[in-house]
Structure formats: structure tokens, C-alpha cells
Amino acid sequence: MSFPESSSRPYEECGVFGVWGVPNAAALTALGLHALQHRGQEAAGIVSFDGEVFHQHKALGLVGDVFGNQDVIAGLPGEAAIGHNRYGTTGGTHVRNVQPIYADYAFGGLAVAHNGNLTNAATLRKALVQRGCIFHSTMDTEVIVHLIAISLYDTVIERLMDAAKKIKGAYSLITLTPDNGMLGMRDPLGVRPLVLGRMPGHDREKGGWVLASETCALDIIGAEYVRDIEPGEIVVINSEGVKSLWPFGDVGRRFCIFEYIYFARPDSVLEGQSVYEVRTRIGSELARESGVEADVVVPVPDSGVPSAIGYAHESGLPYEMGIVRNHYVGRTFIQPTDQIRNLGVKMKHSANKAVLEGRRVILVDDSIVRGTTSRKIVDMVRAAGAKEVHMRITSPPTRHPCFYGIDTPSEKHLLAARHSLEEMCRAINADSLAFISFDGLYRALGHQGRPVENHTNCDACFSGDYPITLVDKDGRLIQQ
């Protein structure tokens, strides 16, 4: 696993979606993946099962590009399907790394869609290769496929549980099997999200079940949110309904706090909390902690919008769209020269001079990683005529890389890991800079402050407190 040296923002690694017992399952899965497009824009794939045969289609590109042709959907028949959106890292953008992974075993076929990262993938991969396993991709997901293959247990479910006990990391995954139906699983601490939904009008025995990374993917197909899959839980979905297995016992929960800050869509509900409401409360806390005299509050779209609304409401300042985002610029846009590359932020964001000129501006954004994007945005706002630019960040300083499925640079490239607050402020050319405190962030989540013990969230990218052993910290594979 490696990280792109040019990355100036964190990226989530993928989204997963699956339906069981519903006509036109592949079409619904494509819609679900479309709702999860924000979780990965490099590739998409779907595997369906028609009761006898598995069918698959996957390719590089956005969901609309990969599944926009009706003939493609027609080639994925069946009432069960799982899908995957992928965000790739350096060296990993190849069709061989596109999920779901399908494999033929002695007991039959099995497809796997996986979100997250295994922290012992390199160690396991080395042992599997020495045993004779042949890998066809650089994804740690394939480690799971091989662990299932070599397991000495009889049933697919037992083999999956056996594999789950050997892997370490933060993950959610969905599998599709011919005999056991659709299975969903979250890691023992529930770092990565996975929710269960129901299609209305379906009897329990006749199917209509949905698994997805976020509730926004349920909404797009008209499914009803049932509950979150619990940390360490395996759900087995088939004609008998939904059955839960617990191979790990209760070891606590450490849901990724950055899902609330940035990754999840604002209309999703995670762990029982509205993402939009959490973000507005973060903005309110930020205004109370680091208010400054100004004329207008401006979000850095899109993730900064709810928090900027909360900040403006708490501070009594007007909220204005001083920056406009172009939603039609993708990451694959060709940037052949340094001059063109340096204009990249202007392709994604444009300054609204009518709002900014002659005013003291508070910019609200979700994070500062390298600082390069923040500097370009501040400079763009100044060039539009702003008198002062005050940057307010809705997360604590990102001082540590994530090894649990988020694409962040190594520590030496993180601005907050190398500089003081004052130095960071000068580096991004702002008049002032403030981050939300740990206590303020946790208050926005409904706590009195940051819990000292029994954390309910993983905040390792801010605190360095890694709740899952980093077995392969210095020998990582490419994340899926």
C-alpha cells in the first residue's frame, strides 16, 4: 500500500453495496454505487448471481461511465448482486485491482467487495505466497480470498469466520455465495461503516435486503434503513432471513471520526447520528472556540458547507457562497505542465468576487493535509479582493497518517506534523488559523469532551492513538 505524493486531501478508499432477493439487482446496485460515488471515483464493479451462474462487469471510471449502458446491466441478471466503488492510490489504478473479486472454489463461486485496509496484509501475503498461493492483484482484499481457500473448515461461513480471525485492520465487506446468500461483516472495532436496509413490499422470506456503506445509498433505491451492522458482526442474508454471527465477541467500538467530518455524504446517518447535524454542531463549536471579528463566513465546498452554516449561526455573521465549486472536474484531468498543474485549484474552485471583495472573510474547511490546497484557496480569496482571510478547520490538526483505509500522506508530508500553528498559518498565507479542539469535536458528537477511556471513535490521524495493531506499518501494500 502506498500513498500518492501529490495528495493534498484525504481520500476514502471505497464504497460497498449489495442487494439480495430483489428483481433487477444489478440495476439497483448501480444506483447504490452512484450514491456512494464520493467514496471512490477511479473504478466500479458489480457481480450478480442468477441462481445458477455468477456474472460480473468492472472497469475504470465513474459509475455512470461503467454502467451507463443498458446492455451492461442486462448482462448482469439475477436477484442478488454486490458492487464496489474504488479510489485508487499510486501504482494501483489497474483493472486487476477493481472489485468485487470473484473466485471459483471447490465448494462453488464467491464474490467479495471490501472497504478498508488490513494492517497485516503484507505479512499474510508473504506467508500465502510461500505456501503456493498465486496473487493476481496488489489489493489486500485478495488475501481474504486466499485465506478462505486454504481454510480447513467445511462451510463458506466457517471459512469466512476462520479468515476473519486471521486478519487485522479496519474493514467492512460484503460477500455473495450460491448457497449461503449474501454476507456482510464489519471489523471488530467497527472502524469502517456498513448498514442494513430493507426494500419495501418484500416478505422476510422472499428477500429484499440491502447492505451499504452509507444510508444515502439506501435512499436512492427507496430502501428503509434498518440498523447499522455492529462491530465484529457477520450477517448472513438468505431465504431464511437475516442471521447474526459474532466470531470476535464484544471488544468495543472505534468508529472513524473522520467519516463525520469529511467522508460521508451529509444526508447519511452514521451510528445513529445525522452527518449534516454533526457537521453543523462542529461549526458551532468552532465559532465558540475561535471566534474572530469578520464580515462573512464562507465555506470551502462541499464538505465545509454544513459546518460554515453552524459557524455563521453561532457567530451571528452572514453566510455566503464566496467560493463556487465546479463539480465536473475529475481527478484524471490531464495536467501536462507545472504551470497548468498549479492552476488545478482554479479548475475545481472559483472565487465569487461580489461576496469577497473588501470584506474580512472566515473560510471554513474540513482539514489541512499538506497545506498546498489551503494556500491556493487563501490566495484565490485574497486575489478576489478580501481584506482579511481567517481559516477555520473543522478537525484537529492531522499529524499522523491513517493505516485503516484512508489515503493520507506519510507523516513527513503532513503540514501539522512538522510545523507549529503559527508556522502553518504563515504557510497557507492566512491572517489567522484555528482548528477545532478534541473536546469541541467530541461535544459535537454528543459527548462532554474527548473520552479518556473507552473511546467511541478512532481519531488516530489526529492523536496518533492507533487502536488496531500496525503489523505492516513499514511494509504496506496498495490499498484497494
Measured torsion, CA atoms of residues 215, 86, 474, 122, in degrees rounded to the nearest 10: 100
Residue 52 makes CB contacts below 8 A (sequence gap 6+) with 178
65 is in an annotated binding site: no
Q: Of how many residues is the chain composed?
A: 480
Cis, peptide link before residue 451, omega less than 30° from 0: no
164 CB-contact burial (10 Å; exposed 0-12 / middle 13-18 / buried 19+)? buried
| C-alpha–C-alpha distance, residues 476 and 46, integer Å | 27
256 is in an annotated binding site: yes
Chain centre to alpha carbon of residue 196:
17
Beta-carbon neighbour count of residue 223 at 10 Å? Answer: 25
459 is in an annotated binding site: no
| C-alpha–C-alpha distance, residues 201 and 82, integer Å | 21
C-alpha cell at 258: 473522520
Return the bridge partners of 356, or none: none
Residue 472 makes CB contacts below 8 A (sequence gap 6+) with 119, 120, 121, 122, 123
| C-alpha–C-alpha distance, residues 240 and 96, integer Å | 35
| C-alpha–C-alpha distance, residues 82 and 407, integer Å | 24
Q: Are 351 and 376 in contact (CB under 8 A)?
A: no
Residue with cell 456512494: 36
Q: Which of 14, 133, 216, 425 is catalytic?
A: 14
402 is in an annotated binding site: yes
458 is in an annotated binding site: yes
Return the bridge partners of 297, or none: 319, 362
**216 in catalytic set:** no
Residues marked as catalytic: 14
* Residues tagged in the binding site annotation for Mg(2+): 303, 365-366
Annotated binding site: 256, 303, 365-366, 402, 458, 461
| Residue ranges at the known binding site for [4Fe-4S] cluster | 256, 402, 458, 461
